[in-house]
Amino acid sequence: MGSYNEPMSWLGIHGHDEIAQRFQKAIASGRLASTFLFVGPGGIGKRSFAVKLAQALLCETNAEAELTPCGSCPACQQVAADSHPDLELIAKPSNKSFLPIELFIGDREHRMRAGLCHDIALKPFCGGRKIAIIDDADFLNQEGANCLLKTLEEPPPNSVIILVGTSEQKQLPTIRSRCQIVRFHPLSSKVIAKLLCAEVDEIDESDQTRLSQIVQLARGSLQRAIQFADGELLDFRNEFVPRLAVLPDGSIGLASDVGAFVDAAGKDAASRRERLKVVMEIAAEFYGDVVRELSGADSCPRDALDEAVGAAVRNWTVDTEGALRCLERCLEAQLQVNANANQATLIECWIDDLTRSCLPAMP
């Protein structure tokens, strides 16, 4: 893969210098919008970028237009500690399927007197701005969106609201239409390799074979790279994908093996859900590759295991529609995980549906 040397980026946020420059120009010209929707794959630094931007806007030492927070003034330190009174940062609790409405308008005893919509409308305590960052915006349901809508339609003066999600399509149209879209691109292989070696002690540049496979599987996401740096997940993936390639024959015991691997994540339900979503994501990527192969589109193999795609195409007993049904079922299953569906039942139904989708059509 060559050298992994990569220069430091804006405030330590790698791969998004162009976006930082656009924000700097907007601030310098006095044209900074009030509402933004950050979209892009998970694990590429969108939330970190939003926090650094908030720090730059609230810094008490350096001017906003410099977009370089000093890092040492009280405001910068409070932002870093998530304790600044003019910064509201909310995210989906691990035990919830959606962003709770209480985060926006307070609990029943404090309706409209607490929560983000109330707090963002208050006069700034310290500086000239109020800033809100809504992480996990993909999990904003209709009820939460309705609460947030008026705030987005009429944002308070000198306020900045940033929603962080993965795609525009996962946002409700009423929310999407009121935000300026900022698209973040996957990180380069060089950046992923450098950050991975810094984050995971067991990985270093001398282990080129393993590092190369993990970086390719990461698809530009540091979060995914760290996940695949776990030898258990990588080994499971290397066994799981070839079995998908020979469905329905490979279905025997597959659901129980997936369940055992998910259970091995520990007793914490959130950890098991995250592992199951990763497994389903691996399957979705596989079927997406099969669709591209069947349709004649160019594909970029990520590792030797992608030979399983070729095997699936050679042995495929249904048409492209069958592969698309498998892909759609994987995406639907991920949503069911988010909705806290029963794990064992979901895995059984998911594998069964994939198996049936791979059966040849009856004459």
Whole-angstrom distance, CA of residue 101 vs CA of residue 291:
39
Give the chain's count of helices (H) and strands (E): 16, 5
Backbone angles phi, psi at 39, to 5 degrees: -130, 150
Whole-angstrom distance, CA of residue 56 vs CA of residue 66:
8
At 270, which helix (H) or strand (E)? helix 269-295
Residue 184 sits at the vertex; the CA angle it makes with 19 and 294, to the nearest 5 degrees, is 145
Return the C-alpha torsion angle 107, 108, 114, 118, nearest 10: 110
What the block records as the tokens of 168 is 């525009």
The pLDDT, as a whole number, for residue 4 is 37
pTM: 0.86
Backbone angles phi, psi at 92, to 5 degrees: -70, 125
Domain 17-183, what architecture? 3-Layer(aba) Sandwich (3.40)
- Where are the chain's structural domains? 17-183, 230-357
- List the chain pLDDT tens, one digit each, 363 residues: 333 344 457 998 999 999 999 999 999 999 999 999 999 999 999 999 999 999 999 999 999 999 999 999 999 999 999 999 999 999 999 888 899 999 999 999 999 899 999 999 999 998 789 999 999 999 999 999 999 999 999 999 999 999 999 999 989 999 999 999 999 999 999 999 989 988 888 787 777 888 888 998 898 999 999 999 988 998 999 899 999 988 988 889 999 999 999 999 999 888 899 999 999 999 999 999 889 888 876 555 555 456 788 888 887 888 889 999 999 999 999 989 988 899 999 999 999 999 999 887 655
The pLDDT, as a whole number, for residue 200 is 87
The pLDDT, as a whole number, for residue 216 is 87
What the block records as the tokens of 21 is 């420059």
- Report the first-to-last Cα separation within the chain, whole angstroms: 49
